[in-house]
Amino acid sequence: MTKKYFGTDGIRGKVGEYPITADFFLKLGWATGRVFANEGHGFVLIGKDTRISGYMFESALEAGLTAAGVDTRLLGPMPTPGVAYLTRTLRAQAGIVISASHNPYYDNGIKFFSVAGTKLPDDLEHKIEHYLDSPMTTVDSANLGKAKRISDAAGRYIEFCKGSIPTQLDFQGLRLVVDCANGATYHIAPHVFSEIGAEVIKIGTEPNGLNINDACGATSPGKLVAAVVENRADFGIALDGDGDRLIMVDHKGEVVDGDELLYIIAKSRYDSGKLIGPVVGTLMTNLGMEHGLKRLGIDLVRAKVGDRYVMEMLTKHNGVLGGEGSGHIICLDRTTTGDGIIAALQIMAEIKLTGKSLHELKSGMQKYPQVLLNVKTSKKINPDTNETLQNAVQAVEQALGNTGRVLLRASGTEPLIRVMVEGQQEDQVNKYAQQLVDVVKKAMGA
């Protein structure tokens, strides 16, 4: 069954535009409450990031859940992976995150976690949608839900993060810069890294409701690069607004993306004999990472773009490590979902254990030049079935051989055809990418 409201990662959009409205979130809280009231007695956690609309949606969800007779526990600002962890350890019936992740402040959205700390199964999302299209009712006053705040939520999550690496590791002498994107990790990440002994210089830790992800964090690491160089730090850590993405910067001021970070963690697990299953990337994962893993004897399996699909592939292949170039890294041997702080700690542990710098650790894989161009489409065109496009792709693939890769795919959210070419020589990659763009335009009659 096709879902009416839920996408691949919850519901997201511009605040004030349906369905990201107060009345919809009230009804969503009630619908969620009805489903979980039928599942048994318990409570639902609500966490949020720092965008200004979070107050409005938190209140609306709380009211809806209360009307359905379900108790609520409010966490306040809490990273998405923190909500997943607390949902699991507090034995909540479900966890709700109010966040639009790396989007600007004027967007917001919602994600759900099951009692196991994983995304809600489809059958529960379908049940919630059923109630969303039903008239809203209120239980008898004696059965209304109650709401409480959990005051020690941040401390619980900080201890969990610290416990993801060996306690005997001492990080004294390490100087690092942490950019929290003025988001949900602002009061958590600096404590995690300083409490394990590192000297922490923090930026992006003054949220005002409007500055989340604004020219900072994992999607815009320019300020972090400048701060690492200026402070002569060993490395920098950039998280996004809800804390599930990680991008790092080495001591030379070079950005280290999700593919390179995933490679470092995979090699670390492999060297210690603790890597289970293949590493899971996506269709966009750099070919240099695939070749780097292959040299170690590690298989890479590619999923569709999106952390939901990475998780599905990990489950299918019994793997523990997966991620995307954007910095969404999943370490299932440490937690149940993508977690920027947990991933950063795994990198830090490897720096300490090997005595190598981040710059040295990333040198094990050589990123290939990758060009991604978008072609606006005026009519629906499927690159997978269009014979002209497939012939053009095959011709470029033949020319690149095993030193390059081509991907043509239709965007799932915009009227675009995405053209991606990667290979060892940048000028060659640019030439072939433009060549394919011209073929796509011609196929559309442009």
Residues with active-site annotation: 101
Q: How far apart are the first and last CA of the chain?
A: 36
Calpha distance 408→418 (Å, rounded): 6
Q: Which residue has the tokens 């390059």?
A: 404
CB 78 within 8 A of CB 48: yes
For the chain, helix (H) and strand (E) counts, in that order, are 14, 18
The b/e string for 8-38 (b: 16+ C-beta within 10 A; e otherwise) is: eebbbbebeeebbbbebbbbbbbbbbbbbbe
Calpha distance 235→176 (Å, rounded): 5
CB 66 within 8 A of CB 139: no
52: closest CA among 152, 183, 147? 183
Distances (CA, A) of 11 to 25, 36, 124, 421: 11, 19, 15, 31
CB 133 within 8 A of CB 32: no
- Considering Cα of 427, then 433, then 439, then 442, what sign does the dihedral take? negative
Token pair listed for 291: 């070749």
Q: Specify the amino acid at residue 35.
A: V
330: helix, coil or strand?
strand
131: helix, coil or strand?
helix
How big is the chain by its Cα radius of gyration, in Å? 23
Calpha distance 404→420 (Å, rounded): 11
CB 64 within 8 A of CB 221: no
Token pair listed for 228: 């690492």
206: closest CA among 214, 198, 194? 214
Q: Specify the amino acid at residue 443.
A: A
Distances (CA, A) of 359 to 235, 351, 355: 9, 10, 12
189: closest CA among 202, 199, 170? 202
- Bridge partners of 119? 113
